[in-house]
Structure 1
């Protein structure tokens, strides 16, 4: 069996409300549809964007992969078409490790050992695992070593509402639906963050795990003040409190706080997590399967286990192939207590699938069937595919 074709698809699905909620009317998106949401410096898109990959073997077996690509997915399409595809064609799809290392070493010397090149590799890697599962008649989590949990526990991410009262109301609704863990997207300043956390804690009670994604907004001293107040509120973890380059500061913070410090969505390989683990710069690491792929995710989780560090999967706004791969990854490793759930894009994630992924009462059902257990409905996908000239 050989790889016969690789087709990348840039997908852009318009949002009625942008990711993380409404934006200030003074914010004007660029002509390409991107904007910044103060106080965050990050670029965001007005659409839900992603990069899907369809790999076909010479026997006609099709595997689907997806990268977490919320910015300029056209870059990934170009990398796959012009660089990786010619090297993958004719290779055995079961050689996932060989192909990952070929691609990684092929761009490594050029300085491309993170960012777009690794995201493109991740999409291809996931598609290869889908093929292996379909050919062997096994779900991906079986190929990864088995299923530690029958379902994947998850937490609600974001509470994308403009006021504290509205966030409290939304949190209470999710708790009524059986969810027992909520992460707020904050980073608005220590006092404002604490006002939000206190209000939600009062509304949902002590049995709900409460977390804060600070979006890399704080200095070490402010993060210490915030973290100590979060300890009094019985919070679970403080995510991305400092810029990810400041590993010494994160290590100091992790030593000083009793609650967990979480980080790592921006990292893509075990090599990039090594210093985090050796320096004890995080109590929880948060790799993203849409950036690591399944092959490298296994290695990251295995290395983390040797340091007795938990792994909580990051999940960004994207589509159902990426989500399915993340669920298989989450249930296949012993040190993954939960994963992220993005309710605001869940319908879009399912919108391109023949059968939907199910999330109820704080748990994802593991997709049933060989491979990833989901099938892309191309007739639903194609209206949102954007083609570049020459690709």
Structure 2
């Protein structure tokens, strides 16, 4: 390719920034950019063939080819404190079943609305509340996960010969080794409104469902880790469970924390600090997660009072956060800079562990100048005074 951009200076600065961040000697807040597969698939600029999510999901070779195209696009067009250009150690691609694969594994129908991401339809209606218990725990490689394994094996075959811009594709991201959380799964399977009613009116059923989901998640994660040659028990515990935003602190401690603890002890030694992704208004749970699960890295969404959170959790805790995704999507560059400056100026005096990002996951159709404005604001307003 002629006129290939030279990103060597940017990449050198990025490596130095993250090295300094880990040592606590950095002079600027670093930034990560949340641009996921949906940004690429649902954007006519990046997907001019208008390949639908259904088509993309139905063909492993098509998914592989679009993942290669997305990897190239991200490293040449998306600004942020990540390496740009052709990766020296080879390209990575990911299997992408969005956030529906766990629910699909339990048997939920997956729907593909035009112009939107796929979603799972609740399975456990009142007349089928006990359906999963009657079937027993699902096979980690059965049902939808059989399709997932087929895709993973095909991707591993494709990377033996695949190249992007003359550089080999050398790795496939480790899919299906994490979880969106047992409480969120219970909400997806039962419907959030029904589950919350169960929690109050039928607690025995609620706990039976949560025990079922927690145990099956543990078995699946261990099986997939083993299949990919990874340790079944990691040194730290990382997960997500967005739906705990529905609960008070006391309800979380009583109804969900015991299951999170079970996962943490089954899947990790907890000798190293872990992390969690929690979108929505879940920050009231962060202190509990830190103290009970050794979680010291929080990836946040919106709404978040970043300064108050940093002050409450202390200087050893890393908080990832920034302007809400809707503002980045619909606002002007000037509005994005103003909100970015407000957040950065608020957190810099109280934390050197803050990581700037969108809050959370930049939507498709977001103008590139808005993403650039986010990064420019971090470069301009993210420097520490000392």
Give the TM-score normalised by structure 2. 0.41
Q: Which has a greater percent of strand?
A: 1
Larger % of helix: which? 2
